[in-house]
Amino acid sequence: MDSAWRNKVKICSIDWTDENTYPRENEQIVTYDYIIGSDLVYDKEIVPSLVHIINLTLKTNGIFLYVCRKNRDGHYFVIPFLNLSQDLYEAKFSEFSDASNFVMMRCQKY
């Protein structure tokens, strides 16, 4: 990561159902100006937990950007890019070339 961005960008691995895993500083849950997510929901039962963490960690007037496929079937690959040749990548992920298959949502907290 570029050193100019090192203190401005944070990547987190969080269990949405466990507030003990939420990012904290001085024992307070950290809030952010922007949160970016992609393909976060594979089971509708987890949506309330996602809404909860976004609500807790997004600053007032903060923006949550989310990208997902339209009409997804729930199937996904685990570590899909690992050891793929360019030809195999294009065969497996050719749908990425058609932007109309994706939805981007922009949500702002008031």
pLDDT in tens, 28-46: 999 999 999 888 887 778 8
Residue of 24 and 7 predicted with greater confidence: 24
Q: Whole-structure pTM over 0.75, yes or no? A: no
Q: What is the pLDDT of residue 72?
A: 58
Provide the domain limits for residue 46.
22-108
**pLDDT-derived band at 47, boundaries 50, 70, 90:** confident
Q: Are 67 and 103 in contact (CB under 8 A)?
A: yes
Q: Are 92 and 84 in contact (CB under 8 A)?
A: yes
In a domain, 1, yes or no: no
In a domain, 51, yes or no: yes
In a domain, 32, yes or no: yes
Domain count, the chain: 1
Q: What is the pLDDT of residue 73?
A: 55
In a domain, 89, yes or no: yes
In a domain, 64, yes or no: yes
